[in-house]
Amino acid sequence: MAAKSNLLNMALCLTAVCLICAALLGGVYALTWQPIQDASAKALKASIGMVLPEGGEISEAKTATLDGVQYEYYENRVEGSVNAYAVKSATNGFGGQLLLMVGVLEDGTVYNTSVLSHSETPGLGAKCNQDENFMAQWRGFSPDKKIAVRKDGGDVDAITASTITSRAYALAVSNAVNVVKSLNNKEVRK
């Protein structure tokens, strides 16, 4: 059974336990740092590949600013000219940040979307990356349609009982489309 307590052995014991645990954590952190970086880089690359048309050359990360918010984006070049963009777009969902990768074609059509990370309620808002119907409607979302849920007068079918998540998703997509629009204007002006 436990040893009798006095000031010295309490302090020593706590110090020793904390030192050992901290050393262990530091070691494992150092060991897993590379695999964690690789895994997130791989996830990022996969999501970029998913939201852009096939057969292009994907550029390095670039940044654009729209309404004071900085966005990271990637260009997809086919024979030297850009035909699509993948924009990383974040909004606040129901449970925290909702981070999307949105592929947008030159004319403003949404090519595809992919969820990078979210903290939505499991079984409800978390369906935003599982629900086939919700995900499918973004493929080839025409620029003539309004990017907002039907409740708000738009053309997006929300996930059942997850209006807030759907709204956040629509906002993230619409921001990404606006980023691409502003990029195009800039290039035209030059």
Partner 1 sequence: MSKLSILTDGFVKNNPTFVLVLGMCPTLATTTSAMNGLEMGLATMFVLILSNIVISLIAPVVPDKVHIPVYIVVIATFVTLLQLLMQAFVPGVYQTLGLFIPLIVVNCIVLGRAEAFANKHGVLESALDGIGVGLGFTLSLTVIGIVREILGSGSVFGWKFIPGDGILAFVMAPGAFMVLGYLMVLFNKYLKK
Interface with partner 1 by CB under 8 A: which residues?
A: 1-6, 9-10, 13-14, 17-18, 21, 24-25, 28-29, 32, 35-36, 39-40, 43, 95, 117, 119, 121-124, 126, 160-161
- The nearest distance, CB 16 to partner 1, in angstroms, is 9
Side chain identity, residue 43: A
Of the pair 110, 115, the CB lying nearest partner 1 is at: 115
**CB burial readout 97-124, b (16+ within 10 A) else e:** ebbbbbbbbeeebbbbbbbbebebbeeb
Nearer to partner 1, 39 or 78 (CB): 39
Strands 97-105 and 110-117: antiparallel
> Which CB atom, from 96 or from 143, has the smaller least distance to partner 1?
96
Q: Least separation, in Å, of the C-beta of 39 and partner 1?
A: 4
Amino acid present at 102: V
Q: Which two tokens stand for residue 145?
A: 């349609």
Least Å distance, CB 182 to partner 1, is: 31
Between 85 and 94, CB nearer to partner 1: 94
168, containing H or E segment? helix 163-189
